[in-house]
């Protein structure tokens, strides 16, 4: 964005922004501020270069005869011109987290202050990393980009924020990855796309098996909380149990949920966008949204929050439970963030990070801290995450906000 001085069109001020499309601009009546709209956010700028005594003095300074004597223009970079974070994953000990960026790099940073530690590896500079997972043990890291390329590395922690990095796999699929999942012993890696699933051995560095479903699926995967040798397929309609190796049915399908919170008509086709297990391993929580044809779309319209008791996984047909407060609670949820202990953590429509204890009354929602709205957009909301210790991480452009000990239950 450039501000020019009339009548000689001298450059007065320039704000360098390389990443977001600006769809509207306007000045304040006194000309000392200007406003821009990017997506759903309005930014207000008040550069010192616009604060002058009056318009006549500006014109007087613009030239003497044919010689320009204007001062040098002010040129600054907008924070959004940093290479943006496009994927985020935390370690299990709240010491580090890793980010994938729009330029294809994967970087480890400190969870205490966000300090950059090291670049682990990189995809092509023309591809953005759109999926990323750091295994719970910290021994493996895997990422996918928007060209379908998948890179995995084995990491060896050497102490004092140093790692040795070893190649594990580097492949390319015909579509982008929707989900990565490691088995409990981390000997196997699930790579899931819209139409296919692949199982890789982290020891042998080879593909063990794959399943091609023939059409786009609405599911997410989670390791069986009671039988780690099994996988659970969860979609809005049904729950399947599969073996890790080979990827085959282990029993008959079951209805998907026993409790649901809905803000949409049940006839609408939905996809599961997010899934988590509570710390006590008693409840699987998953979020489904109306299908838009784009798996990463995270509008809160029509959001369902569904709860599946892990004890029901032993039964042939899980029994249905009902709760009058569920629909009211779902109407307050703008974005599910995670689970912490026995609570669901979410962002409400007033941009407060809140918790709700499972099976409690809707009025028992607890607000913990407010998040500045100018930090949040559809992209950052999709990547906001909560690690096992309750630390909240949310990227904006090239930075990551870190909120520690914000959840006091």
Name the residue with higher pLDDT: 368 or 13: 368
Query: What does the alpha-carbon distance between residue 62 and residue 283 come to, in Å, rounded to a whole number?
Result: 69
Share of the chain above pLDDT 70, in %: 80
Q: Which of 329, 327, 347, 330 is closest to 338 using CA atoms?
A: 347
SS3 assignment, position 379: helix
The 10 Å Cβ neighbour count of residue 348 is 15
DSSP states of 52-98 as a string? -S-HHHHHHHH-BTTB--PPPPEEEE-GGGSPPEEEEEE-SSSSEEE
What's the pLDDT at 180?
A: 98
Checking if the pLDDT of 179 tops 80, the result is yes
Q: How far apart, in whole angstroms, are the C-alpha atoms of residue 17 and residue 148? A: 28
pLDDT, greater one: 116 or 359? 116
Highest mean pLDDT among 65-79, 177-191, 234-248: 177-191
At CA 300, angle to CA 295 and CA 303, rounded to 5?
Answer: 85
What pLDDT was estimated at residue 376? 76
β-sheet with 96-101: strand ranges across: 85-90, 96-101, 105-110, 116-122
Q: What is the reported pLDDT for 321?
A: 37
Res 359: pLDDT: 81
Where is pLDDT greater, at 38 or 157?
157
Using pLDDT thresholds of 50, 70 and 90, give the confidence band for residue 299.
low
Per-residue confidence band for 215, with pLDDT thresholds at 50, 70 and 90: very high
Residue of higher predicted confidence among 6 and 278: 278
Residue bearing tokens 């969870």: 111
Query: Residue 134: is its pLDDT beyond 90?
Result: yes
Kindly tell me if the per-residue pLDDT of 355 is higher than 90.
Answer: yes
Q: Say yes or no to pLDDT of 211 above 60.
A: yes
pLDDT for residue 203? 96
Task: Let me know if 321 is exposed, middle or buried by CB neighbors in 10 A (0-12, 13-18, 19+).
Answer: middle
256: DSSP letter? S
Assigned token pair, 41? 């956010």
| pLDDT above 90 as % of the chain | 50
pLDDT-based confidence at residue 93 (cuts at 50, 70, 90): very high
Residue 200 pLDDT: 98
Q: Give φ, ψ of 187 to 5 degrees.
A: -80, -20
- Report the Cα–Cα distance between both ends of the chain, in Å, rounded: 45
Minimal CA–CA distance to 341: which of 279, 395, 249? Answer: 279
pLDDT at 9: 81
Q: What is the pLDDT of residue 322?
A: 35
pLDDT of residue 320: 36
The model's confidence at residue 259, banded by pLDDT at 50, 70 and 90, is very low
DSSP line for 211-233: EE-SS----EEEE-SS-TTEEEE
Q: What pLDDT is stored for residue 323 in this prediction? A: 38
Contact call for residues 377 and 19 (beta carbons, < 8 A): no
Question: What pLDDT does residue 37 have?
Answer: 87
Confidence category of residue 67, pLDDT binned at 50, 70, 90 = very low
What integer best gives the mean pLDDT of the chain? 83
When comparing pLDDT for 156 and 295, which is higher? 156
Q: What is the pLDDT of residue 270?
A: 85
- The structure's pTM equals 0.77
Residue 118's pLDDT is 94
pLDDT score at 64 = 42
Q: What share of the chain is helix, strand, coil (3-state, %, to 5)?
A: 10, 45, 45
The backbone torsions φ and ψ at residue 177, rounded to the nearest 5 degrees and listed phi first, read: -80, 140
pLDDT-derived band at 60 (thresholds 50, 70, 90) equals very low
Q: What is the pLDDT of residue 18?
A: 61
Contact 392, 386 (CB under 8 A): yes
Q: How confident is the model at residue 292 (pLDDT cuts 50, 70, 90)?
A: low
> What pLDDT score was predicted for residue 356?
93
Half-sphere exposure of 157 (CA within 13 A, CB side): 13
- Where is average pLDDT lowest: 95-99, 123-127, 185-189, 323-327? 323-327
Select the more confidently predicted residue: 398 or 147.
147
Note the pLDDT of residue 109: 96
Structure tokens at 356: 């709700």
| Predicted pLDDT of residue 310 | 87
Average pLDDT over residues 150-169: 94
Strands 10-16 and 74-77: parallel
pLDDT at 172 over 50: yes
Task: Measure the CA–CA gap between 126 and 298, rounded to whole angstroms.
Answer: 24
What is the mean pLDDT of the segment spanning 190-215? 96
CA–CA distances in Å: residue 80 to residues 111, 146, 402: 22, 21, 18
Q: Say yes or no to pLDDT of 294 above 60.
A: no
């Amino acid at each position: 964005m450039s501000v020019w001085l009339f009548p000689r069109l001298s450059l007065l001020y320039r704000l360098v922004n390389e990443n977001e499309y600006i769809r509207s601009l306007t000045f304040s009546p006194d000309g000392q501020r200007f406003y821009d709209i990017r997506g759903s956010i309005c930014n207000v700028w008040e550069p010192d270069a616009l604060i002058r005594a009056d318009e006549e003095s500006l014109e007087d300074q613009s030239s003497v005869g044919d010689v320009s004597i204007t001062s040098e223009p002010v040129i600054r970079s907008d924070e959004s011109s940093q290479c943006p974070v496009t994927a985020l994953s935390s370690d299990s000990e709240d010491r580090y987290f890793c980010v994938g960026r729009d330029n294809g790099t994967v970087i480890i940073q400190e969870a205490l202050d966000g300090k950059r530690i090291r670049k682990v590896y990189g995809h092509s500079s023309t591809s953005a990393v759109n999926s990323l997972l750091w295994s719970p043990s910290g021994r493996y890291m895997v990422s996918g980009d928007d060209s379908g390329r998948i890179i995995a590395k084995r990491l060896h922690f050497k102490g004092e924020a140093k790692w040795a990095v070893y190649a594990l796999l580097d492949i390319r699929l015909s579509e982008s990855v929707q989900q990565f999942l490691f088995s409990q012993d981390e000997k196997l890696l699930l790579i899931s796309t819209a139409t296919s699933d692949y199982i890789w051995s982290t020891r042998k560095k080879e593909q063990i098996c794959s399943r091609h479903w023939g059409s786009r699926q609405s599911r997410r995967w989670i390791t069986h909380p009671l039988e780690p040798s099994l996988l659970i397929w969860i979609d809005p309609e049904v729950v399947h149990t599969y073996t890790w190796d080979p990827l085959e049915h282990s029993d008959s399908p079951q209805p998907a949920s026993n409790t649901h919170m809905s803000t949409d008509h049940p006839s609408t086709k939905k996809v599961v966008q997010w899934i988590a297990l509570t710390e006590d391993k008693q409840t699987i929580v998953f979020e489904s949204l109306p299908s838009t044809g784009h798996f990463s779309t995270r509008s809160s319209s029509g959001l369902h929050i569904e709860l599946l008791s892990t004890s029901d996984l032993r039964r042939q047909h899980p029994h249905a439970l009902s709760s009058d407060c569920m629909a009211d609670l779902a109407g307050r949820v703008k974005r599910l963030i995670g689970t912490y202990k026995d609570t669901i953590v979410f962002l409400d429509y007033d941009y407060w990070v809140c918790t709700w204890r499972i099976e409690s009354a809707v009025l028992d929602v607890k607000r913990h801290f407010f998040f500045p709205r100018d930090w949040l957009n559809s992209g950052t909301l999709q990547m906001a995450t909560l690690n096992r210790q309750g630390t909240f991480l949310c990227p904006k452009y090239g930075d990551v906000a870190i909120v520690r000990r914000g959840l006091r239950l």
